[in-house]
Amino acid sequence: MEANARSKEKRRVRRVQEQGQPREKHFNRQVGVDSPEVFSLILNPDGMLAFLRAVRQAARRRNVYVNLAKVKKITPEAIAALLAAIHQFRKFGTAISGNVPTDATALKVLNHSGFRTYVRNSPDFKYPTLVGKITKRNLSGETFQNHFDQQLAKDLVQFAIGKMAESGHRPGPSYAVFCEAMLNTWNHASELVARREPWWASAYFDAERQRTCFTFIDQGVGIFKSHSLTMTLNILVALRYLDRGELLKRILHGEIPSTTRIPGRGNGLPGMFEHCRAGRIRNFVIISNNTIGYVESNIYKVLPSEFEGTLLYWEIGS
């Protein structure tokens, strides 16, 4: 009976992973997970990845209560990552609930980011005027247009233009970056050819710094599980002459060819790097698997935990 139960659970999990079908019923027990005080993947990647790992582990066996009460600082890319995690585990039948930061500034960022449009709120909650917008891939169909959605990118950029109008800044090449990110997700993010991974995108106008913050997150296999390395690089990694931080740097610099080996392909990440080097986008950060790259400052690190998928973050403005 125990063996049959384990087999049944494995079949359920496999069905969810391959077809996106939900569990037959919700869990009955709940566990709480405390968030870090600095709720930011770009400022506190170690703490945030540990938090997301704890949520991921708990969500496979219990309902989860996310405790944000102690958050002192929060950034928009972490809000999008939290939403992605919440919706990812709902397909397992996990109910995820939580509270909000008690810190007034952190609460304001959360409320104005667009986060509240995706979660259940108390009846007396009054929606503020948003300075952020969050959107996700359309799950209603499995067409190329739904995954590579140029209109979605246009909507986010237009939203940013409206918020930045008074400051006189332009959104730069953000539309092109979004399109490259969506195309990479379509072509490379899934282990299964017939399966396309979900993604999230956001724009947030930081009035204090006069910058618009853009985020793109896919929940695929990550760069290092989708990118076929050359034999020479594989040998160097095996001999520990190179780590993933250095590999990420080389990919961005265009020194590692495309997985397809087709001329003209593989320009997505190097193109983003060129936008950053030319100053057209600022504070470009990429997180994938267990690696983070602060491209503008040329810092690349191996992280202690894995990020499931790839996160791109960049800013436009003064």
Dihedral sign from CA coordinates of 46, 47, 50, 56: negative
Which band of pLDDT confidence, cut at 50, 70 and 90, is reported for residue 263?
A: very low
Task: Please name every residue paired with 73 in a beta bridge, in sequence order, or none if there are none.
Answer: 38
Which band of pLDDT confidence, cut at 50, 70 and 90, is reported for residue 230?
A: low
Which has more confidence, 191 or 14? 14
The predicted-structure confidence for 144-203, as pLDDT tens digits, reads as follows 344 455 677 778 888 887 877 766 666 678 778 887 777 766 555 444 444 455 788 899
- The residue from 86, 120, 154 where one domain ends is 120
- The residue from 120, 145, 174 where one domain ends is 120
> Residues 162, 164, 165, 166: what is their CA dihedral angle, to the nearest 10 degrees?
130
Give the DSSP letter string of 189-248: S-SSTT----EEEEEEEETTTTEEEEEEEE-SS-HHHHS---HHHHHHHHTTSS-HHHHH
Average pLDDT value for residue range 30-48: 96
Which residues span the domain enclosing 1? 1-120
Q: Is the pLDDT of residue 316 over 80?
A: yes
- The residue from 70, 95, 120 where one domain ends is 120
Which band of pLDDT confidence, cut at 50, 70 and 90, is reported for residue 17?
A: low
Residues 287 and 180 in one domain: yes
Q: What is the number of domains present in the chain? A: 2
| Crossing angle (nearest 10°) for helices 76-90 and 104-112 | 60
Dihedral sign from CA coordinates of 161, 167, 170, 175: negative
Residues 86 and 185 in one domain: no
Taking a C-beta distance cutoff of 8 angstroms, is the pair 202, 156 a contact? yes
Please tell me the distance from the alpha carbon of residue 257 to that of residue 262, in angstroms, as a whole number: 9
In a domain, 125, yes or no: no
Residues 138 and 114 in one domain: no
Whose structure tokens read 């359920």?
A: 12
Helix or strand run (H / E) with residue 119: none
Task: Please name every residue paired with 265 in a beta bridge, in sequence order, or none if there are none.
Answer: none
The predicted-structure confidence for 43-79, as pLDDT tens digits, reads as follows 999 999 999 999 989 988 889 999 999 999 999 999 9
CATH number of the domain where residue 20 is located: 3.30.750
Taking a C-beta distance cutoff of 8 angstroms, is the pair 93, 22 a contact? yes
Residues 71 and 148 in one domain: no
Residue type for position 158: Q
Residues 252 and 278 in one domain: yes
Which band of pLDDT confidence, cut at 50, 70 and 90, is reported for residue 7?
A: confident
Which has more confidence, 101 or 173? 101
Give the mean pLDDT of the chain.
Answer: 81
